C-alpha cells in the first residue's frame, strides 16, 4: 500500500439556514483514501448488487459499466452502451449513462436496470427538445455472469428532455421493492425557464418517480403503478412520488434495520435522503416522503428564489405546503454542487457511524462532509467537514462525482481530474479507510 501524507483540509464555514448563525464542527473526523481502481473516464456511480459475490459495478458516464472483482477491475466491461448514449460534450456534460440498479432478486433472475441519455426520438423537434432518457431493463449473459447481455434491452420508460442540463439520472430499488427514479427539471433555456416543470405534477421532470417493474399494465406500458403512489388516482402523473426538485443528482435509503443505534417510533420507517443541486445560492438535502413538495423553484434551500436576479433572493415567498430541507449550505469557499451520499453503517470507521455522509463537487475540488440530526430533532442538521488523508503526490479529491456503498456498508469515492469533462482516463475509485495514526 502506498504511503500516505496528511493534507490539511480547507477550513470552511457553512452557513446554515442563511440566518447569520455560523456552524463550526467541534471535532473534524478524518479518513484516508485507498485506491481501488483507476482508468475510468467519468465514474458517477458504484453499486453492490448485494448478492454475496462481493462484486462492485462502476458506472462510467461515457456509456460503460465496469466490474471490480477480487480487488481489480476486469479487462472487459460488464456492459457497453456507448453506441446508444448521446454524444457528450468533452468540456462539460451532465448527460450520459448515469444510473444502475439491480433487481432485488438479482441473484436468481439476473435482471438489472440502467438510466441513460440517448439521442432524441426522431418524431420530436430538436428546436424544442434535446434528448430522450431511457430507463431500461437488461439481463446478465447466460454464458458469462460477468457480462450483461446488450441485446436484452427492454425499455420501461422514455422521458423526453428539453435541455442538456439538470439530468439527475439516479435509480435505485427502495425497501418496498419498487424502482425509484430521479429526474431533473431539465429546461431548454435555463436563463429564462428555470423551474418550468418541477411544480407541475403532470410532468415527469423535477421529480422522484416510483414504479413497479414486476408487471405490465393493461395499457401495454412495461411497468405498474404502486397503488399508494400519491397521484395514482389522479391529480398528476401516476409515476410521481415527490416533486419540487431542481437536480436530485443522488439519493439513498436508510432503514431502521440498518441502524446500529436505538431508534424511536417515528424513526422506524425507511428514510429517503435526496440531495438536490441548487441554482445559484444554495445546496440542499431533504428527507423525502410520498407526495412531498420540496420547493423548487419557489425556494432554493431555505431562501426565496428570484427569477429576475438569481444572486438576490426575494425577501419573502409563499411556503405553504413546502417541506424544509434537513441540510442546506451556501455557495461559498468553492462549494457549488452537492453530491448525495448515504448514512454510514460500516465497521472500519466507527467515528462516522450513524452519520449522513455527503460531498460537494467543489468547482472541481471536492469536499467531504458528515451530518447529524439536531439534539431536539427539529431544524437543520449539524454539518462537519471530514479531513481527508491523500496518497503521496495527490493534492486533493479532484472532481467528486459520486459516493458508493458496498454490502458491508463501507463507502467509496468516485473522482476524476479537475478541469475536464467526460473524457480521458483520470477517473478513480477510492475506498474510505482509517488514517494511519488511527
Does residue 181 lie within any of the structural domains? yes
The pLDDT assigned to 258 comes to 61
Band (4; pLDDT cuts 50, 70, 90): very low
The pLDDT assigned to 354 comes to 94
Asked if 287 and 266 count as a contact pair (C-beta separation under 8 A), the reply is no
* Euclidean distance between CA atoms 290 and 305, whole angstroms: 24
The pLDDT assigned to 405 comes to 97
The pLDDT assigned to 399 comes to 96
What is the number of structural domains in the chain?
A: 1
**Euclidean distance between the first and the last CA atom of the chain, given in angstroms as a whole number:** 16
Does residue 74 lie within any of the structural domains? yes
Band (28; pLDDT cuts 50, 70, 90): confident
Higher pLDDT, 389 or 375: 389
Percentage of the chain modeled with pLDDT above 70: 91
Domain that holds residue 72: 4-433
Does residue 244 lie within any of the structural domains? yes
**Over residues 1-18, mean pLDDT:** 34
The pLDDT assigned to 255 comes to 82
The pLDDT assigned to 256 comes to 63
Mean pLDDT of the residues in the chain: 91
Does residue 438 lie within any of the structural domains? no
pLDDT single digits (tens) 190-234: 888 888 999 999 999 999 999 999 998 888 899 999 999 999 999
Does residue 29 lie within any of the structural domains? yes
Which value, to the nearest 10 degrees, does the dihedral of the CA atoms of residues 331, 434, 414, 155 take?
-110
Percentage of the chain modeled with pLDDT above 90: 82
The pLDDT assigned to 392 comes to 80
The pLDDT assigned to 18 comes to 33
Does residue 88 lie within any of the structural domains? yes
pLDDT single digits (tens) 341-374: 999 999 999 999 999 999 999 888 999 999 999 9
The pLDDT assigned to 356 comes to 97
CATH code, domain with 171 = 2.120.10.30
pLDDT single digits (tens) 74-108: 999 999 999 999 999 999 999 999 999 999 999 99
Band (158; pLDDT cuts 50, 70, 90): very high
Does residue 312 lie within any of the structural domains? yes
The pLDDT assigned to 259 comes to 58
* Euclidean distance between CA atoms 331 and 278, whole angstroms: 9
**Over residues 252-261, mean pLDDT:** 70
The pLDDT assigned to 48 comes to 97
Does residue 318 lie within any of the structural domains? yes
The pLDDT assigned to 430 comes to 97
Distance of CA 99 to the CA centre of its chain: 9
Amino acid at each position: 500500500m502506498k504511503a500516505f501524507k496528511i493534507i490539511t483540509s480547507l477550513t470552511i464555514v457553512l452557513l446554515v439556514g442563511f440566518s447569520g448563525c455560523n456552524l463550526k464542527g467541534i471535532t473534524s473526523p478524518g479518513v484516508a483514501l485507498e485506491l481501488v481502481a483507476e482508468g475510468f473516464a467519468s465514474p458517477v456511480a458504484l453499486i453492490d448488487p448485494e448478492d454475496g459475490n462481493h462484486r462492485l459495478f462502476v458506472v462510467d458516464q461515457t456509456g460503460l459499466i465496469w466490474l471490480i472483482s477480487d480487488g481489480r477491475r476486469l479487462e472487459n466491461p460488464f456492459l457497453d452502451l456507448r453506441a446508444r448514449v448521446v454524444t457528450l460534450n468533452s468540456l462539460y456534460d451532465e448527460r450520459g449513462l448515469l444510473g444502475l440498479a439491480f433487481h432485488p432478486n438479482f441473484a436468481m433472475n439476473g435482471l438489472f436496470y440502467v438510466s441513460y441519455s440517448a439521442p432524441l426520438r426522431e418524431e420530436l423537434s430538436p428546436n424544442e427538445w434535446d434528448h430522450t432518457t431511457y430507463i431500461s431493463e437488461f439481463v446478465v449473459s447466460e454464458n458469462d455472469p460477468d457480462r450483461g447481455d446488450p441485446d436484452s434491452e427492454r425499455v420501461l420508460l422514455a422521458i423526453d428532455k428539453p435541455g442538456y442540463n439538470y439530468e439527475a439520472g439516479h435509480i435505485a430499488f427502495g425497501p418496498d421493492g419498487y424502482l425509484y427514479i430521479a429526474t431533473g427539471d431539465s429546461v431548454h433555456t435555463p436563463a429564462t425557464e428555470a423551474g418550468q416543470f418541477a411544480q407541475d405534477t403532470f410532468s415527469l421532470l423535477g421529480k422522484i418517480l416510483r414504479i413497479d417493474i414486476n408487471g405490465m399494465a393493461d395499457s401495454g406500458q412495461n411497468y405498474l403503478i404502486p397503488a399508494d403512489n400519491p397521484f395514482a388516482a389522479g391529480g398528476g402523473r401516476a409515476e410521481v412520488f415527490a416533486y419540487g426538485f431542481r437536480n436530485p443528482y443522488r439519493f439513498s435509503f436508510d432503514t431502521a434495520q440498518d441502524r446500529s443505534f436505538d431508534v424511536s417510533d417515528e424513526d422506524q420507517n425507511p428514510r429517503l435522503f435526496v440531495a438536490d443541486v441548487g441554482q445559484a445560492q444554495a445546496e440542499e438535502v431533504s428527507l423525502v416522503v410520498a407526495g412531498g413538495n420540496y420547493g423548487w423553484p419557489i425556494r432554493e434551500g431555505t431562501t426565496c428564489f428570484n427569477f429576475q436576479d438569481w444572486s438576490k433572493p426575494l425577501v419573502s415567498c409563499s411556503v405553504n405546503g413546502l417541506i424544509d430541507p434537513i441540510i442546506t449550505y451556501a455557495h461559498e469557499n468553492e462549494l457549488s454542487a452537492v453530491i448525495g451520499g448515504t448514512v454510514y453503517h460500516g465497521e472500519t470507521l466507527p467515528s462516522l457511524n450513524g452519520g449522513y455522509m455527503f460531498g460537494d463537487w467543489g468547482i472541481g475540488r471536492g469536499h467531504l462532509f458528515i451530518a447529524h440530526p439536531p439534539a431536539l430533532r427539529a431544524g437543520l442538521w449539524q454539518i462537519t467537514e471530514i479531513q481527508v488523508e491523500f496518497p503521496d503526490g495527490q493534492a486533493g479529491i479532484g472532481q467528486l462525482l459520486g459516493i458508493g456503498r458496498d454490502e458491508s456498508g463501507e463507502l467509496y469515492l468516485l473522482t476524476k481530474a479537475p478541469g475536464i469533462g467526460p473524457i480521458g482516463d483520470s477517473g478513480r475509485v477510492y475506498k474510505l479507510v482509517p488514517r494511519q495514526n488511527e
